[in-house]
Amino acid sequence: MDPSLSLPLILIDAWFRWGIAIGMAITLVAACWIFFDSQRRSLQAGVWRVISLVCAMVVAPSAVLFLFPELASGMGNMPLLLGYLGALATLISTISLILYTAGVGVVEGPLVGVLEEDPLPLPPPADSTTATNQTPPAPMINGRVSASSTTSGPITPPSAAPSPTPPLAWLVVMSGRFAGKEYRLGALTDIGRDSRYNDISIDDPAMSRQHARIRFESEGFVLYDLASVNGVYVNNRIEQRRRLEHGDRIIMGQTLFGFMLVRE
């Protein structure tokens, strides 16, 4: 090695004395923290995960040379190069950790395999009449459901082509804190607990993060269960797919909804 390069030599000497330990520690901590923290908080931080992992891998050869110095004898300038790379990787890893923590480029989104916070399974709801009888204005549920379903005919004639603009329809919350709130239904409406992926998000722990979907199709509004834990009940029957009619009562989790449709 060239004795005139004193500063690099000092640096590389420092690197192989104690720098590797610090570099290895920083890169490993950064890689583990970014990986597990982003998984725990369901964040998509792919860039920072890759960078921190690569940095840890770049520092690793220096650590091997540090532990087995006899390997370095036949490698010429390689240890020097590895030392520079290791120091650089430590720097990059530190920066990526800071940027990740600051939330730069982090996207909130679903991570495959994160199942920690799905709701507890519930038994099928008891006939809602038994539940509603406890409250004074109960006859609503008993009488209106059957009455309205007989009066409401097909939404569109069978021959009609799928309408590009859905008719006026709302999903109405009829229980809990948000009772009375109406949500206008469009061509596609997703319902669940998580406001990040749903058009209608209800703070109901018994509801799945992505619970159900209502799509406007040629036959009308159709409700789909999105493989929810506690299922979707329409007029007290569990349903996977169901065409909705005005007055239908829908239970998702522990929340009761009413379906309101204007026929035109």
Partner 1 sequence: MGSHVPPEHIPTIEIDDHASSYAWLVMLRGPRRGRLYPLKPEGVSLGRGEANDICLDDESVSRFHARIVAEPGPSGLQFIVQDLASVNGTFVNGERITRQALKDEDRLQLGNTVLVFKQL
Applying CB under 8 A, the residues found at the interface with partner 1 are: 121-126, 128, 131-132, 134-144, 147-148, 151, 168, 170, 172, 174-176, 179-180, 182, 184, 206, 231, 246-247, 251, 254-256, 258, 260, 262-264
Q: How many CB atoms lie within 10 A of CB 157?
A: 7
55 and 92 Cβ atoms separated by less than 8 Å: yes
* Sign of the C-alpha dihedral computed for residues 90, 95, 96 and 102 taken in this order: positive
Q: Looking at beta carbons only, is 54 or 131 nearer to partner 1?
A: 131
Q: Looking at beta carbons only, is 64 or 168 nearer to partner 1?
A: 168
Residue 43's beta-bridge partner residues?
A: 108
From the CB of 213, what's the least distance to partner 1, in Å? 19
Instruction: Determine the angle formed by the axes of helices 20-40 and 78-101, rounding to 10 degrees.
Output: 30
Q: Looking at beta carbons only, is 63 or 238 nearer to partner 1?
A: 238
Q: Looking at beta carbons only, is 151 or 218 nearer to partner 1?
A: 151
Q: Looking at beta carbons only, is 94 or 235 nearer to partner 1?
A: 235
Phi, psi (deg, nearest 5) at residue 232: -125, 130
From the CB of 71, what's the least distance to partner 1, in Å? 57
Q: Looking at beta carbons only, is 86 or 247 nearer to partner 1?
A: 247
CA dihedral 48, 101, 192, 228 (to 10 degrees): 50
From the CB of 16, what's the least distance to partner 1, in Å? 59
From the CB of 148, what's the least distance to partner 1, in Å? 6
From the CB of 236, what's the least distance to partner 1, in Å? 10
Owner of token pair 């008719």: 167
From the CB of 62, what's the least distance to partner 1, in Å? 53
230 and 122 Cβ atoms separated by less than 8 Å: yes
Task: Classify burial at 31, counting beta carbons within 10 Å of its beta carbon; exposed 0-12, middle 13-18, buried 19 or more.
Answer: buried
State how far the Cα of 181 lies from the Cα of 19, in Å rounded to an integer: 61
Residue count (the chain): 264
